[in-house]
C-alpha cells in the first residue's frame, strides 16, 4: 500500500529510512514488471513546471504518469512566469484546484517550499539549485541492483559541491552509506546540509585529496562543474577543477567490482570523457533508465490513495 499519501518530496530527508525501503522495493518490483496492466493513478494528473531545461526528468515523469494510468502536462516558465507573471502562491492555489500533484524544476529551493505551503496536493522537487532528490532515488536503485543494501557502501562523489553533492550527503543519513565528497577548496557542498547530516550520525567525509577519495571506491560519482544557471563562472571553474576529469585511468583505481555513475547530461572534456561513460564499470544508462522506475514508485506512494476529482 502507498506509504507517502499526500506528502511532499522536496528533499531526500522528507523520507524516513522505512519510506526509503518501501519506495525502493516498489521501484525494483515495477522494473520487474510486477505492476504491468495496473492503473493505480487512473484519472490523476501531474503538472510539471520547468524554470530550467530537462531531458530525463521531463521524459521520465511524463512516461511514468502514462504507465500508471494518469496524465502529465508540461508548463514551461515562458508560459507561466513563476513569481514574475504571477506570484508563486497564486500558481499553487490555481493548480491544486485542477491537478493531483505538482513536479517543479526551479532555481530556488524556497520556490518549492512556497509551492508546497500553498498547494494541498503533493509537490515534488524535480531539481533546484540546492538539491536533486529524485535523481538520488534512481541512483540508489542502480547501486542496489549491483550491491544490495547500501549500508556501509563506499560512495565517492568528486567535483562541484552542488545540488548533487548536497543530495548525496542527505542520502547518507537515510541509508547508512559511507559517503565521501571530494571537491577543490572553495567548492565545498552546503555547510548546513553537511552539519545536519553529521549531527544525525551520517558517515560523510569531506576532502580535497582526490587520490585517496577515488582509491578503492565502490561507487564513483561525478556531475557537471557548471550547473544550469552558472554559465558565467565557466572559465574560473574549469581551472579550479583541473585533475577532476573521470577517465578510464581513474576508473582503474576504484574497486575492481566498483561502478561509475553520472546523473547526466555530461559535459564531455570537462568532468568526464566518453571512454568513461562507455567503460565496462559505467552504469550511467542503467541509472538514466531507473529514473523511470524510481519515479513511478515515488508517484505511486504519493498519489495512489487519491480519489479522482471528477
Q: How far is CA 153 from CA 11, 25, 124, in A?
A: 21, 18, 27
Length of the chain in terms of residues written: 310
Kindly state the smallest distance separating residue 273's Cβ from ligand CP, in Å.
Answer: 19
Ligand-binding site membership of 93 (annotated): no
Residue 203 among known ligand-binding residues = no
**Torsion angle (degrees, nearest 10) of CA 12, 295, 87, 82:** 110
Residues that bind ligand NVA (CB under 6 A): 127, 162-164, 223-224, 227-228, 263
Say which of 56, 58, 105, 293 is annotated catalytic: 105
Q: Which does 224 bind (CB under 5 to 8 A by kind): ligand CP, ligand NVA, none?
A: ligand NVA
- Residue 302: CB atoms within 10 A of its CB come to 26
- Least gap, CB of 230 to ligand NVA (angstroms): 8
Q: Which of 139, 170, 223, 287 is catalytic?
A: 223
Q: Give the chain's largest Cα–Cα span.
A: 58
**CA 227 to chain CA centroid, nearest Å:** 14
| 135 is an active site residue | yes
Our answer to whether residue 105 is catalytic in this structure is: yes
Element (H, E) at 221: strand 219-222
CB 193 within 8 A of CB 201: no
Supply the minimum distance, in Å, between the C-beta of residue 106 and ligand NVA. Answer: 11
- The answer to whether 132 is annotated as binding is yes
**120 a known binding residue?**
no
CB distance 109 to 130 below 8 Å: yes
Residue 274 assigned as binding residue: no
Cβ–Cβ < 8 Å for 172, 13: no
CA 52, distance to chain mean position in Å, is 15
132 catalytic, yes or no? yes
**Is position 182 annotated as part of the catalytic site?**
no
* 134 marked as part of a ligand binding site: yes
With CB under 5 to 8 Å by kind, the binding choice for 55 among ligand CP, ligand NVA, none is ligand CP
Residues forming contacts to ligand CP in the complex (CB under 6 A) are 54-57, 127, 135, 263-265
CB of 159 to ligand NVA, least distance (A): 9
Of 163 and 218, nearer to ligand CP (C-beta) is 163
Is 223 designated active site?
yes
Q: Are 258 and 219 in contact (CB under 8 A)?
A: yes
Q: What does the DSSP assignment read for 138-187? A: HHHHHHHHHHSS-TT-EEEEES--SHHHHHHHHHHHHH--EEEEE--TT-
Residue closer to ligand CP, measured from CB, 172 or 224 = 224
- Residue 223 binds: one of ligand NVA, ligand CP, none (C-beta under 5 to 8 A by kind): ligand NVA
End-to-end CA distance of the chain: give it in Å, rounded: 23
Q: Is 163 annotated to bind ligand?
A: yes
Contacting residues for 113 by C-beta, under 8 A, at least 6 apart: 10
| Residue nearest ligand NVA (C-beta atom) | 227
List 182, 263, 283, 295, catalytic entry? 263
Q: Count the neighbouring beta carbons within 10 Å of the beta carbon of residue 247.
A: 12
Binds 193: which of ligand CP, ligand NVA, none (CB < 5-8 Å by kind):
none
Task: Specify binding-site residues.
Answer: 105, 132-135, 163, 223, 227-228, 263-264, 291
- Which residues belong to the active site? 105, 132, 135, 223, 263, 291
Task: Specify binding-site residues for carbamoyl phosphate.
Answer: 105, 132-135, 263-264, 291
Task: Specify binding-site residues for L-ornithine.
Answer: 163, 223, 227-228
Amino acid at each position: 500500500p502507498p506509504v507517502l499519501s499526500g506528502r511532499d518530496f522536496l528533499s531526500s530527508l522528507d523520507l524516513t529510512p522505512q519510506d526509503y525501503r518501501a519506495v525502493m522495493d516498489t521501484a525494483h518490483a515495477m522494473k520487474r514488471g510486477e505492476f504491468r496492466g495496473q492503473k493505480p493513478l487512473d484519472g490523476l494528473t501531474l503538472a510539471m513546471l520547468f524554470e530550467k531545461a530537462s531531458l530525463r526528468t521531463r521524459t521520465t515523469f511524463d512516461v511514468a504518469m502514462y504507465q500508471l494510468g494518469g496524465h502529465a502536462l508540461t508548463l514551461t516558465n515562458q508560459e507561466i512566469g513563476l513569481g514574475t507573471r504571477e506570484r508563486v502562491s497564486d500558481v499553487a492555489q490555481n493548480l491544486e484546484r485542477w491537478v493531483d500533484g505538482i513536479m517543479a524544476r526551479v532555481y530556488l529551493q524556497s520556490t518549492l517550499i512556497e509551492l508546497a505551503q500553498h498547494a494541498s496536493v503533493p509537490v515534488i522537487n524535480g531539481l533546484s539549485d540546492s538539491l536533486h532528490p529524485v535523481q538520488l532515488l534512481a541512483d540508489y536503485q542502480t547501486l542496489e541492483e549491483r550491491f544490495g543494501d547500501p549500508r556501509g557502501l563506499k560512495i565517492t562523489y568528486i567535483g562541484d559541491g552542488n545540488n548533487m553533492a548536497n543530495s548525496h550527503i542527505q542520502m547518507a543519513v537515510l541509508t547508512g552509506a559511507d559517503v565521501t565528497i571530494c571537491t577543490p577548496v572553495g567548492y565545498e557542498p552546503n555547510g548546513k546540509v553537511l552539519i545536519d547530516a553529521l549531527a544525525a550520525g551520517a558517515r560523510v567525509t569531506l576532502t580535497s585529496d582526490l587520490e585517496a577519495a577515488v582509491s578503492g571506491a565502490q561507487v564513483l560519482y561525478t556531475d557537471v562543474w557548471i550547473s544550469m544557471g552558472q554559465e558565467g563562472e565557466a572559465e574560473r571553474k574549469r581551472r579550479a577543477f583541473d585533475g577532476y576529469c573521470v577517465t578510464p585511468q581513474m576508473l582503474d583505481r576504484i574497486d575492481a567490482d566498483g561502478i561509475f555513475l553520472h546523473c547526466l547530461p555530461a559535459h564531455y572534456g570537462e568532468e568526464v570523457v566518453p571512454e568513461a561513460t562507455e567503460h565496462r564499470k559505467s552504469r550511467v544508462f542503467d541509472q538514466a533508465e531507473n529514473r523511470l522506475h524510481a519515479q513511478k514508485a515515488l508517484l505511486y506512494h504519493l498519489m495512489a490513495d487519491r480519489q479522482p476529482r471528477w
